[in-house]
């Protein structure tokens, strides 16, 4: 498998309440993109990310799992997370390394308790968000009601980028509000462009107007231009959608069905076009390995030219391969058999082969660029990191850095201000708070 540059990587943590369809959505995306030859289904126990016996038997996700696909020469890393209360805390370390969260909402039930909890985790790490309202092919599915529940619970900055064509079992296509085009899933499984249906056209136009307003609100210069002209040019809208999402000023919503594949091609295109790549962070900050807590913090940018540093966020005990450590490369470029410093113990470690992760399958890769997620052998085991059972998902499992780097903590800045609780009447459109957040410290901000 080839290596991907930082600009060609998207890391998404898929979060939401239990049984909303997160695992099925990932499995269907992999199938649509051609990453898997077989369409895995939860009810059949054939999905890529739910590969453990307990998960297959219970038909729920018990631990985080990773899968990837390539779409338009871009690598999309999906981190599937549990949604049931007993296991939902596993979503937190996934969001620590994600560059965007894909929030999945059930079209029948709307926003549920664990959706709010995982949204709060995303606030803690100041992670941009996109949303998918799924199961639109099910009986009693209501896109409008699910959207309204999300807007009331979280923020009015949640806005549809695609709208459904048809309802329940007749859900057959989507309207792309950004480009004002409509697509319908054909009998061959391919999306074909059609005319925007006349029924509901008024709602499509109003949604488009609201989208332009939110893009304008994300930037003062755009706001002035919007007030002068009453709208924005296409040249102003598309480039600034990315900025608005990256700055948590906008949360796009997509109408999809993991059970019928409707709307998935539009979602894949949107992830490539709008989801920020790892380099959109200013930097990751931390202390030098041997320094005290009062020492000056140093930064590592998501660039290959920076000294190497990586963050290990999960360790899995494999009966054949031993301990497998899953890490995100923060800076620099990692190659097979590299010698690095384990900052947890202050000892040098030699890494073995690098692997890209597809559920339980590991595919060898020659190198990993800044921002990518890869698996390596059991360097953490030799370094004495504690064994917390068959699967260990820790807040900071271990950090592997070069001699001059640090035990890195995340610090990001979001330009928005906190979105108040529903009913306060405040008109701010941000979805997170304006604050710095370090994973090693408690965050002083109240989750939106």
pLDDT in tens, 233-279: 888 998 899 999 999 999 999 999 999 999 999 999 999 999 999 99
pLDDT of 149 reads 97
**How big is the CA angle at 4 (ends 270 and 94), to the nearest 5 degrees?**
65
- Which residue intervals of 132-287 are DSSP H helices? 143-153, 201-217, 220-229, 234-246, 264-274
Could you say which architecture CATH assigns to the domain 6-280? 3-Layer(aba) Sandwich (3.40)
CA angle 41, 42, 45 (to 5 degrees): 90
**Position 408 pLDDT exceeds 50:** no
8-17, 114-123, 356-365, 428-437: the lowest-pLDDT one: 428-437
Domain boundaries, the chain: 6-280, 284-410
Instruction: For residue 388, name the pLDDT band (cuts at 50, 70, 90).
Output: very low
**Interval 371-380 mean pLDDT:** 81
Q: What share of the chain is helix, strand, coil (3-state, %, to 5)?
A: 25, 30, 45
The mean pLDDT of 299-306, rounded to a whole number, is: 94
41/347: higher pLDDT: 41
Architecture of domain 284-410: Beta Barrel (2.40)
Quickly state the pLDDT bin for 289 (edges 50, 70, 90). Answer: confident
Range 171-184 average pLDDT: 96
Residues in the chain: 448
CA dihedral 380, 382, 385, 391 (to 10 degrees): 60
> Which band of pLDDT confidence, cut at 50, 70 and 90, is reported for residue 378?
low
229: left (phi over 0), alpha (psi -120 to 50) or beta: alpha
pLDDT of res. 413: 34
Q: What's the mean pLDDT in 168-186?
A: 95
Tokens of 178: 């950004």
């Amino acid at each position: 498998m080839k290596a991907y540059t930082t600009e060609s990587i998207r890391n998404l943590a898929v979060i939401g309440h239990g049984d909303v369809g997160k695992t099925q959505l990932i499995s269907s995306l992999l199938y649509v993109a051609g990453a898997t030859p077989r369409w895995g289904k939860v009810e059949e126990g054939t999905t890529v990310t739910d590969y453990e016996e307990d998960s297959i038997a219970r038909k729920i996700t018990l631990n985080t799992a990773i899968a990837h696909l390539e779409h338009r020469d871009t690598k999309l890393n999906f981190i599937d997370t549990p949604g049931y209360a007993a296991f939902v805390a596993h979503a937190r370390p996934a969001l620590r390394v994600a560059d965007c969260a894909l929030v999945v909402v059930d079209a029948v039930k709307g926003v549920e308790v664990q959706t709010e909890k995982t949204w709060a985790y995303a606030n803690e790490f100041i992670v941009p968000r996109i949303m998918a309202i799924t199961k639109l092919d099910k009986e009693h599915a209501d896109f409008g009601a699910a959207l309204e529940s999300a807007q009331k619970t979280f923020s009015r900055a949640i806005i549809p980028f695609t709208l459904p064509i048809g309802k329940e079992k007749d859900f057959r296509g989507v309207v792309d509000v950004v480009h004002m085009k409509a697509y319908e899933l054909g009998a061959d499984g391919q999306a074909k462009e059609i005319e925007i249906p006349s029924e509901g056209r008024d709602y499509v136009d109003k949604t488009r107007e609201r989208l332009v307003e939110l893009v304008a609100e994300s930037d003062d210069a755009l706001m002035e231009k919007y007030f002068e002209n009453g709208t924005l040019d296409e040249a102003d809208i598309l480039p600034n959608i990315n900025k608005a999402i990256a700055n948590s000023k906008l949360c796009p919503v997509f109408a999809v069905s993991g059970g019928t594949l409707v709307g998935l091609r539009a979602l894949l295109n949107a992830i490539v076009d709008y989801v920020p790549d790892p380099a959109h962070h200013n930097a990751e900050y931390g202390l030098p390995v041997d320094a005290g807590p009062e020492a000056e913090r140093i930064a590592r940018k998501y660039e290959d030219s920076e000294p190497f540093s990586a963050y290990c966020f999960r360790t899995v005990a494999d009966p054949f391969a031993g301990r497998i450590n899953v890490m995100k490369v923060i800076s620099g470029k990692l190659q097979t058999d590299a010698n690095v410093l384990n900052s947890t113990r202050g000892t040098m470690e030699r890494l073995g082969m690098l692997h890209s992760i597809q559920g339980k399958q590991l595919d060898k890769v020659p190198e990993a660029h800044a921002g990518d997620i890869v698996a390596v052998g059991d360097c953490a085991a030799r370094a004495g990191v504690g064994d917390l059972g068959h699967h260990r998902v820790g807040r900071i499992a271990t950090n592997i850095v070069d001699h001059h780097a640090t035990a890195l903590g995340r610090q990001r800045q979001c330009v928005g201000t906190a979105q108040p609780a529903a009913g306060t009447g405040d008109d701010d459109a941000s979805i997170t708070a304006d604050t710095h957040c370090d994973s090693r410290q408690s965050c002083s901000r109240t989750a939106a």
